[in-house]
Amino acid sequence: MHFGTLITSLEGAADGALDRLADAALLAETAVVAARFNESPPDYLRGAAHRFAAQASSEEWMVLMTALERGEDTARAAVTAILHWSLARDQADPSLTSGCGCGGGCHGGG
């Protein structure tokens, strides 16, 4: 699966992508962080995929590509890697308490 195809599919199927994770801890963590941004977990996942595409470093892309190569379910591997990446970034800055979770400058105008 191409990454662009994955992002496009997340636009309409983020709920299903989260259901396929079967990782209760990751789902719970996603729900907590999504709530900080007044988003649903599927909305957070959509935003995370877009942020990853726009902001991930070369090394982070390599981590994703490695996860895709090793995973039997590439969509699940991609969603898991992207969520871990996004959650780590969003949890690293405790000043982010509201906004859209876009990782840009819309959190309180900052």
Q: Which two tokens stand for residue 91?
A: 């949890």
pLDDT tens digits, one per residue of 21-60? 888 999 999 999 999 999 999 899 989 988 998 899 999 9
The CA distance from 38 to 57, in Å, is 27
Q: Is 0.85 surpassed by the pTM of this model?
A: no
DSSP result, the chain: --HHHHHHHHHHHHHHHHHTT--HHHHHHHHHHHHHTT--HHHHHHHHHHHHHHH--HHHHHHHHHHHHH-SSHHHHHHHHHHHHHHHHHHH-TT--SS---SSS-STT-
- pLDDT tens digits, residue range 49-79? 889 988 999 999 999 889 888 878 888 888 8
List the chain domain ranges. Answer: 3-92
Q: Torsions phi, psi of 72, nearest 5?
A: -75, -30
